[in-house]
Structure 1
Amino acid sequence: MIRRFLRSALLAFCLAPALAHAAAAMAGRVVDGATGAPIAGATIIVDGHLVPVDEMGRFAVASQGPVFARAPGYRARTITLTASPPTDAVLRLEPFTPKALYLTVYGIGSSSLRDPALAVMREKGLNALVIDVKGDRGLVPFPSATAMTVPGARAITTIPNLAELVATLHAQGIYLIARIVTFKDPLLAASRPDLAVKRGNGELFRDRENLAWTDPLQQAVRDYNIGIAIEAAQAGFDEIQFDYVRFPDANQRLRFAGPTTEKDRVAAIAGFLGEARRRLLPYNVYVAADIFGYVCWNLDDTGIGQHLEELAPQVDYLSPMLYPSGFQFGIPGYRNPVSHSYEIVRLSLENALSRLNISPKRFRPWLQAFKDYAFDRRSFGGGEVRLQTKAAEDVGVDGWMLWNPRNVYGNLGVEQQAAR
């Protein structure tokens, strides 16, 4: 035993100088490009693996080559470290606050919808677009090798060349978010009933829109959606956003591939997001999850597998849908949400932040830019939109996204601002 200890100690003594030199030669610090302040908890990736970053933004890598860096509230960046430069390279990330409009599968391909949206962005100084790369009905509008395996998923092409579209919009300074409607997928469910959510009698479950869903417990369903996400990342999108990343909200007994207690549901959704984030590490893209607005308030999983404390560690951004029309029961102190747009947005975000104790930059909410459907049918034009954006800005989150399923953005009520 003593001999083994001496051999181990001798080996460690001989290797220590080399290892220390390698680590020192590849050391770096991540800092705010505007202030020079360290960015604690930044994400550093080398060879597809996460590298620890301390409270002073310091990190060390043991190999040369590309280093990916990102942190919520900043533009992602890639640099190359070699053994010869200074031992303490400074990696500066530029602050960035996305303010986005949304375009559907059809909107991105229609000049009558896309061009006016881009004009509004130029006029108002907005700087980001959310684009469907897998839409609400399972359609994938670009030549996707992954989607070719599902009949009907490639029924239309509104984006002939995804990488070319990304390059064109990037040249205009636009930050690009790829929206992927995940478990609501009538095309995959129809072609693979073994992967679908079923009713108690074995028939396909269909929601209020008569759309079928796929089972979050099935690995093949996860692989399909992550495969499309990887294609979007390879095309150059800045961020992958998973929507409908949940179990269906159905008041009936449904059949899945395994148990679906609250614990099981939460584990399935958090597990999917964690897996997606790991598999997207080689592409230096941000990962976001859209969540119900009430998830900011409910202490359970809202019956759909979305539990705030379990979701936050798995993604870069949480994107609660804070549409006043979606708050059927209001929030504490405000029973009529459409008359209190500012309070709905601000208080929901503040409540979520108080629970998580994380930076507000980890949130980027969806806001309402469509007519109310649940209360008094009021229009959500300039005044209502501005109340919501001001609430988000007052909390200090990393921007916001405006949702209008018709892709019509007239008087937004947002102030002219320089796109950062």
Structure 2
Amino acid sequence: MPLLAPADRRILRELLTRGGTAEIGELSAAAALDNQAVQASLGTLQQSGIVAQAGSVPGLRGARWSLTRHGHEVGPSLVGSDPGGVVDGQEATGPTDPAEGWGFPWRPPKPEAPLYATGLSRRARRVADRAVIGMAGPRSKRRRGARAIVAILLVAATIGVGFVAMNALRVTEITVSGISDGSMLRPAQLAGAVLEFSIDGGDATSAQMLLDGFPVSGVQRYDSRIVWPVPELTEGVHIVTLDVDRRFFGTATAAVTFTVDGTPPEVDLPRVLDPVTLGEPVVLAGSVEPGVALQVGDQQIDTASGSFSLTLPGPPGGPVPVIATDAAGNNTEFDVIVPIGYPHTTGVHVTAAAWNHDGLRSSVLELIEQGRINAVQLDLKDEDGRIGHRTDVRLAQLTGASRELYDLRDAIDELHGLGVRVIGRIVAFNDPTLTRYAVASGSLDWVVQTPDGRPLAKYGGFTNFNHAVVRQYNLDIAAEAAEAGIDDILWDYMRRPEGDLSGMRIPGWDGGDPSPVIVSFLAEAGSMLREAQVFHGVSVFGIAADRGEWVSQDIGAMSDHVDYVAPMVYPSHWGRGEYGVVHPEAQPYDITKASLAQFQRVLEGTNTAVVPWLQDFSMRVNYGPDEVRAQIDAAADLGISDWLLWDPQVTYTTDGIPVSYDR
């Protein structure tokens, strides 16, 4: 008696109840087993001669399996030993086999000799055979019958050989889907991928799948389909092969090769260039893996050789975006910063009223003549929102902002004639004049407000840096100055009002830190001023190096769009103990050096110039030549030779300013 596993008995029982024949799908549903388990059981029963596979129509129906003659004979007894088994509708009873599930030690019995031949001698069998032959009739008829039988046998053999030959020559086709041969895939694309082999003309039950030469797990079999959910694979080239036995002899093989690549391409190009000269061409040169698609700015670059070079007609107005994409779709994205080599600058702040005052203007011109300064910072729009020079900007005329204290082009020409540069200061968003006009005209969304919708009183009115009209107004003032020949535009009050953001409302802004809005304005201004070949800087709080969120001044982000940062590190503005300095106002060297070192740390690697604002006025401590010179020396000891002096009264301490230029 054979020892059948439970699953095999269930399949045999289902075949018996169905009259001896069924499809795999029918057996799977009836026995509550998956197709792969049913296929395995049928294979076991086939090895014992109990079942055989019938023909099938590829693509239309699954293969049918039938009990053999031997299966019909022994099947009921094999199922009958299975408690709960049912054959022909009758519940079977019998002892449980103690070796159930261990395999098949049983083999089909050898055919026994017919009973009539048992015990006869060889001579007696020959006599009996002749007697049987004699019963067939005359000799001639026996010969003709023998010849006919031989002929029939020859024809049958010929047909059989032909049938075998045709089947042997039949092509086994294996179709692969799910992953294209030669494809490049990122790990994210591979996740959830299913590789499927469809077999036509071969023995699907014999299929063996290998990954890079090793057997794989998780293969699912559905009649003539072999399905493999692809697991996570290492990066590199992989090959999946499927070997299938042909119907009679030989093996058919299909393979798919693909590459898993999740590594972004490397681009050898400096992220920050060395400072370049304003107005001169700029070359961006580097290398990348051959064949990688490379876009620099708005230009597609040829990378067939692996190296590339792109010449820009002049320094760009901001970061240059670079995008590299390999064959698998991996991206490398970054910005290239092209800093401007900012010229050596030592200058003083001059208001519009001071330039209009003969005595104050003369004192500034005297500093130039003595070789102490090489730049003059001249106010274009001040903290009251007043424009000191005659302007054609329409909104400035409507608001009454223009005071016409001087002619801008004449002032620039005069200072250029003395060999110095002119820096135009624009107080951007602290603008009481524009605020009053906005309130009067019903344009409250032009101003920063209190939570209940009233204009914020701080500074007399702070305009909305998120409003297009306010932004364009300031850009128009800068563009007019650039056309007049200004060398620099230096933005001031490029920030929000200090204080808790919950106590203010910024129309059009959805909340959070508005630093990106401030930076976006500098980006817009930088593009315009670069085209006009005008230098571009921003004044920032002394604390902004490490506490910029207090006023929405992100120094690192700002530096991407300006040529220099001008931190206001006035000693009188620091609290005691800042950076370990006990009395900052009385220790100008110590606090200046400590605070500027913080800006150098934040700006390290950007190649953005630092041009600090230094103090030349007195508050609680009297400032004279020694205090002014101490700040200049502190900056110099950090390698910072540029500076601007601030005195709201425009009365500078001449003896504190070193002579640096020959006249």
**What TM-score bracket applies, with the shorter chain setting the length?**
0.7 to 0.9
Q: Look up the match of 1:382.
A: 625
Q: Is it true that 1:148 corresponds to 2:399 in the alignment? A: no
How far, CA to CA, are the matches of 1:203 and 1:177 in structure 2? 35
2:405 pairs, out of 148, 154, 158, with: 158
How far, CA to CA, are the matches of 1:342 and 1:262 in structure 2? 37
Contact 1:42 1:70 survives alignment (8 Å): no
How far, CA to CA, are the matches of 2:382 and 2:511 in structure 1? 28
Contact 2:390 2:405 survives alignment (8 Å): no
1:278 pairs, out of 513, 516, 527, with: 527
Deviates more, 1:315-324 or 1:405-414: 405-414
1:355 pairs, out of 592, 602, 605, with: 602
Distance 1:405-1:183 versus aligned 2 partners, 3 A rule: same
Q: Look up the match of 2:557.
A: 310
- Number of matched residues? 341
How far, CA to CA, are the matches of 2:315 and 2:520 in structure 1? 23
Q: Look up the match of 2:434.
A: 188
Distance 1:166-1:60 versus aligned 2 partners, 3 A rule: farther
Contact 2:315 2:530 survives alignment (8 Å): no
Q: Is it true that 1:97 corresponds to 2:344 in the alignment? A: yes
Distance apart, 1:396 and its partner CA: 2.0
For 1:240, give the aligned amino acid: I
Q: Look up the match of 2:639.
A: 396
Q: Look up the match of 1:134.
A: 381
Q: Look up the match of 2:480.
A: 231
Contact 1:297 1:348 survives alignment (8 Å): no
For 1:117, give the aligned amino acid: V
3-state SS, counterpart of residue 314 of structure 1: coil
Contact 1:362 1:398 survives alignment (8 Å): no
Contact 1:124 1:414 survives alignment (8 Å): no
Contact 1:44 1:70 survives alignment (8 Å): no
More strand per residue: 1 or 2?
Answer: 2
Counting only pairs closer than 5 Å after superposition, residues 217-228 of structure 1 correspond to structure 2 as 217-228=466-477
Could you give the per-residue CA deviations for residues 101-129 of structure 1, whole angstroms, max 9, x where no partner exists?
11112111111211112213322521110
1:295 pairs, out of 544, 558, 562, with: 544
Could you give the per-residue CA deviations for residues 272-305 of structure 1, whole angstroms, max 9, x where no partner exists?
111110122221111100000001232xx33211
Q: Look up the match of 2:657.
A: 414
For 1:191, give the aligned amino acid: Y
1:197 pairs, out of 442, 448, 452, with: 448
> Which is higher, the Rg of structure 1 or of structure 2?
2
Q: Is it true that 1:123 corresponds to 2:354 in the alignment? A: no
How far, CA to CA, are the matches of 2:623 and 2:544 in structure 1? 23
How far, CA to CA, are the matches of 1:94 and 1:257 in structure 2? 38
How far, CA to CA, are the matches of 2:632 and 2:595 in structure 1? 13
How far, CA to CA, are the matches of 1:149 and 1:52 in structure 2? 44
For 2:626, give the aligned amino acid: G
Q: Look up the match of 2:517.
A: 268
Q: Which structure's relative contact order is higher, taking Cα pairs within 8 Å and 6+ residues apart?
A: 1
1:254 pairs, out of 500, 504, 520, with: 504
Contact 1:246 1:269 survives alignment (8 Å): yes
Contact 1:245 1:269 survives alignment (8 Å): yes
Could you give the per-residue CA deviations for residues 126-149 of structure 1, whole angstroms, max 9, x where no partner exists?
111000011110111222121534
Distance 1:347-1:70 versus aligned 2 partners, 3 A rule: farther
Distance apart, 1:60 and its partner CA: 5.6
For 1:410, give the aligned amino acid: T
Two-structure CA RMSD over aligned residues (Å): 2.7
3-state SS, counterpart of residue 580 of structure 2: coil
Distance apart, 1:43 and its partner CA: 5.8
How far, CA to CA, are the matches of 1:419 and 1:54 in structure 2? 40
Q: Look up the match of 1:40.
A: 274
3-state SS, counterpart of residue 373 of structure 2: coil
Contact 1:45 1:51 survives alignment (8 Å): no
For 2:538, give the aligned amino acid: A
Distance 1:330-1:274 versus aligned 2 partners, 3 A rule: farther
Distance apart, 1:247 and its partner CA: 0.2
3-state SS, counterpart of residue 302 of structure 1: helix
Distance apart, 1:392 and its partner CA: 1.4
How far, CA to CA, are the matches of 2:632 and 2:385 in structure 1? 30
Q: Is it true that 1:333 corresponds to 2:580 in the alignment? A: yes
Contact 1:109 1:159 survives alignment (8 Å): yes
Distance 1:344-1:297 versus aligned 2 partners, 3 A rule: farther
Distance apart, 1:355 and its partner CA: 2.6
Contact 2:278 2:341 survives alignment (8 Å): no
How far, CA to CA, are the matches of 2:657 and 2:452 in structure 1? 50
Q: Look up the match of 2:217.
A: none
Contact 1:324 1:344 survives alignment (8 Å): yes
How far, CA to CA, are the matches of 1:213 and 1:419 in structure 2? 43
Distance 1:203-1:101 versus aligned 2 partners, 3 A rule: same
How far, CA to CA, are the matches of 1:308 and 1:360 in structure 2? 13
Q: Where does structure 1 lack aligned partners over 5 or more consecutive residues?
A: 1-38, 72-92
How far, CA to CA, are the matches of 2:553 and 2:342 in structure 1? 29
Contact 1:101 1:129 survives alignment (8 Å): yes
Task: Give the % identical residues.
Answer: 28
Contact 1:381 1:411 survives alignment (8 Å): no
Q: Look up the match of 1:167.
A: 413
Q: Is it true that 1:177 corresponds to 2:420 in the alignment? A: no
Q: Where does structure 2 lack aligned partners over 5 or more consecutive residues?
A: 1-272, 287-307, 318-339
Q: Look up the match of 1:109.
A: 356
Distance 1:356-1:410 versus aligned 2 partners, 3 A rule: closer
How far, CA to CA, are the matches of 1:41 and 1:94 in structure 2? 5
Deviates more, 1:396-405 or 1:220-229: 396-405
How far, CA to CA, are the matches of 1:153 and 1:59 in structure 2? 49
- Give TM-score scaled by structure 2 length: 0.48
Could you give the per-residue CA deviations for residues 33-77 of structure 1, whole angstroms, max 9, x where no partner exists?
xxxxxx82426668xxx955459xx98648xxxx65699xxxxxx
How far, CA to CA, are the matches of 2:310 and 2:543 in structure 1? 41
For 1:341, give the aligned amino acid: P
Distance 1:333-1:390 versus aligned 2 partners, 3 A rule: same
How far, CA to CA, are the matches of 1:129 and 1:200 in structure 2? 41
For 2:450, give the aligned amino acid: R
How far, CA to CA, are the matches of 1:150 and 1:357 in structure 2? 44
Contact 1:361 1:396 survives alignment (8 Å): no
How far, CA to CA, are the matches of 2:508 and 2:624 in structure 1? 45
Contact 2:355 2:406 survives alignment (8 Å): yes
How far, CA to CA, are the matches of 2:342 and 2:552 in structure 1? 33
